[in-house]
Chains A and B, each alone.
Chain A
Amino acid sequence: MLTLFKTFNLRYLAKHKLRITTIIFGVTLGIIMVVATALVNQSILRSYHSLVDTAAGKTGLQVLSNTRSGLPASIADEVAQIKGVKAAVPVVRSDVFAFINGKQAGSLLVYGIDRKKDTNARSYEFSAGRQFRAGEPDAIVLTKAWANEKGLKTGDHINITGSRGFKEFKIVDLLSDTGPAHANLGSFAIMDINTARGLLNKAGKIDQVDVVLEDGEKPNIVQDRIKHKLDGRAEVEIPATRGTEVQRSMESMSIFLDLAAMISIFVGAFIIFNNLEISVEERRYGIGTLRALGLPRKKIFTLVIFEAILLGFIGSIFGVAIGTLLANLMSTAFADAILSFERIRITDLGVTPQIFILGILMGPVMAAIASMGPAMRMLRVAPLEALRPFETAWRPRPKTWKLVVSALILVIGVGSLLIFVYVLENNDKLSQNMQLIGNFILASIFLTFLGSVLLMPHLFLYPSGSKGRAHLPYEWP
């Protein structure tokens, strides 16, 4: 069977490099987008988690400094007096760099917190249960995930950049993987508020007040009261507004990627279907000969399917590799464009085992399905068909009007999408109407897809059809 595969299938494939390249390309095309989408979606999901479970916790409003120097610490007590405020939690916060054994170990978002008041806003879960004492000068608590990643454990030391150079800290405890531990994708640390002030040279200052509202209070009403009271000394924001904005753009990005993946699967599948069909039909004569020489039906079937699976597998390998690359490019661009928030960061995208297996299996499965039809048809090739190649030879007859119509649909689809994107960028009113945008994009993507699908057979069937005769060894009288 293997020698037969080598002589019959591989020899054909070697002679039809363009055909097999096209099939492999079809598989690769589908898988690139699936892998890339899965990877980017995964990281979007992770960012989303970090958004939902961030350090904001139960915070309903945030009082933020409108200057770099921070707010006076007394402002927290002032806010706490306002009607509708259950608790006003002071926070000193900063992005710092961490060094382990003199080596850069990445950035950390550090919260300096007042342990007693902070429980109103956030619930921490300390894995060793030790936490830190109020005012403990060199104590830091990291997230378990970050510590594991850097190979650190409780009791180890870590250097942090502060306003006066390095300062050494002792890791006194770790945060279990819940709630605030997801903040900044785990690159998050807490310490006593006074320790943080010392580190960052912010004596008597805070960076924000996290406001927890009384039950049933409406955020925007309390927001107005605080604004009124502070009278321009600080900004008052609803943390969720930032969140929903980012969330919405992440959702639409995710939907767009899903659509793109779907389309490329369709187009990829179509290329595979078409070309496998041709590559098998082209060998009808040879298959008839093999039947006449005594090869049973089921072995013909095996030869056809096995060949498709092999091509699908090769396509899969390319697809996973290029898809991973593309995902990294996309998420970088994507992070720059809409997620340029300090709190949300797209992490490096590595292929998880699930996505790898999905990508590697998809090609062979897709190709096997695509080859099922032609393989079934080859089962019915009678031995005598080899003797009458021209009666049964399968030659597609492309019709010009079909070519024109499908090209036209494709042009309308692509064109309308481009025009729409242009109009959108220059028209604020239109860009507010999400539903209209959604429907229009869907319609033009559908037209693009329809056009490409209809056009495909003309692009691929025609050249082979005209060549159909060339490789028969003799002319039929």
Chain B
Amino acid sequence: MANKVEVKDVFKTYKRGKAEFHALNGISLSIKEGEFLAVMGPSGSGKSTLLHLIGALDKPTSGEVFIDGVSLSLLGDDALSQIRREKVGFIFQQFNLLPTLTARENILLPLRIAGKSSRETERYADEVIEAVGLTNWSSNLPEEMSGGQMQRVGIARALAIRPSIILADEPTGNLDSKTSEEILNLLKDCQEQFKQTIIMVIHDAKAAAYGDRIIRLKDGQIDEEVEAYSANLI
């Protein structure tokens, strides 16, 4: 099967005062279409940074990221924006909701940005809202919601446009274990039903087992890579 995402020898360097800090330190990785990859690793190991580069939210210092075989480094703002709004659904670690919009409006925002707001697409969005358990909260503003609810709004927003790639940065970080399980099952459904490719950053090893494959980052490098069934055995 074709590689949906390919990361080739990627470095990401931040300047800290005069010193340079390598958040990503030469990472190469391929993810197949319809694959579910779990990314683990200690805090500061570069998990979010990796996800941002794949989601076309940031540019690597060196190396290349390919999506559907196209190198992002060759694309301008219009094309990168198009990838962000049409191919990628990003579940942010800090939710990033617009404070002036209600939950449902936040969730429909990507459809509106993409100009794909129709009765059909909005019906799917409402299904997602139901699946994340927000039906009764859809007209509330973010400030009226708990962290867990805001996180679920962020998840629904990423899924509503039914992107071919879902990038989830600790999607269950603020959820109780029962809701976490529901969300993980929802992601698994997305993979199975719509063949969506999923890359999920996760702390919990049990949750990571939802993936087909698990990689572990350390100091900006891939420290360990295992197939999920063997992780289950561990």
Residues of chain A contacted by B127 (CB below 8 angstroms)? none
> Which of A285-293, A418-426, A429-437 faces chain B?
A285-293
Query: Is A128 at the interface (CB under 8 A from chain B)?
Result: no
A289 touches B98 (CB 8 A): yes
Chain B residues touching A, majority SS = helix
**Contact partner, B114, options A294, A382, A474, Cβ 8 Å:** A294
**B198 nearest CB across to chain A (Å):** 18
**Contact partner, B143, options A3, A289, A473, Cβ 8 Å:** A473
Query: In the complex, which of the residues A8, A382, A473 has the most CB atoms of chain B within 10 Å of its own CB atom?
Result: A473
Residues of chain B contacted by A15 (CB below 8 angstroms)? 100
B113 touches A387 (CB 8 A): no
Tell me, in angstroms, the Cα distance from A292 to B92 when the chains sit together.
10
The number of inter-chain residue pairs (CB within 8 angstroms) is 86
The chain A residue sitting closest to B117, CB to CB, is A3
**B65 nearest CB across to chain A (Å):** 15
Residues of chain A contacted by B90 (CB below 8 angstroms)? 292-293
**Contact partner, B78, options A12, A296, A383, Cβ 8 Å:** A296
Query: Is A472 at the interface (CB under 8 A from chain B)?
Result: yes
A286 touches B117 (CB 8 A): no
From known contacts A3-B117, A7-B105, A387-B96, infer whether A294 and B81 are also in contact, taking CB-CB under 8 Å: yes
**Contact partner, B109, options A7, A288, A471, Cβ 8 Å:** A7
Tell me, in angstroms, the Cα distance from A294 to B58 when the chains sit together.
13
Q: Which 3 A-B pairs have the closest CB atoms?
A: A294-B85, A294-B84, A296-B81
- Interface residues, chain A, CB within 8 Å of chain B? 3-4, 7-8, 11-12, 15, 286, 288-297, 382-384, 386-387, 471-474, 476
Query: Is B41 at the interface (CB under 8 A from chain A)?
Result: no
Residues of chain B contacted by A7 (CB below 8 angstroms)? 101, 105, 109, 112
From known contacts A290-B113, A293-B113, infer whether A473 and B97 are also in contact, taking CB-CB under 8 Å: yes
Residues of chain A contacted by B92 (CB below 8 angstroms)? 292, 386-387
Tell me, in angstroms, the Cα distance from A449 to B232 when the chains sit together.
74
Pairs A–B under 8 Å by Cβ, sample size 26: A3-B112, A4-B112, A4-B113, A8-B98, A8-B101, A286-B100, A289-B97, A290-B109, A291-B81, A292-B57, A292-B84, A293-B157, A294-B86, A294-B113, A294-B114, A295-B81, A296-B81, A296-B82, A297-B77, A382-B57, A387-B94, A472-B99, A473-B99, A473-B143, A474-B147, A476-B94
Given A290-B113, A295-B81, A471-B100: 17 more A-B contacts, CB < 8 Å:
A4-B113, A7-B105, A8-B98, A8-B101, A286-B99, A286-B100, A290-B109, A292-B84, A292-B92, A293-B84, A294-B84, A294-B85, A294-B86, A384-B57, A387-B94, A472-B99, A474-B95
**A300 nearest CB across to chain B (Å):** 10
Query: Is B31 at the interface (CB under 8 A from chain A)?
Result: no
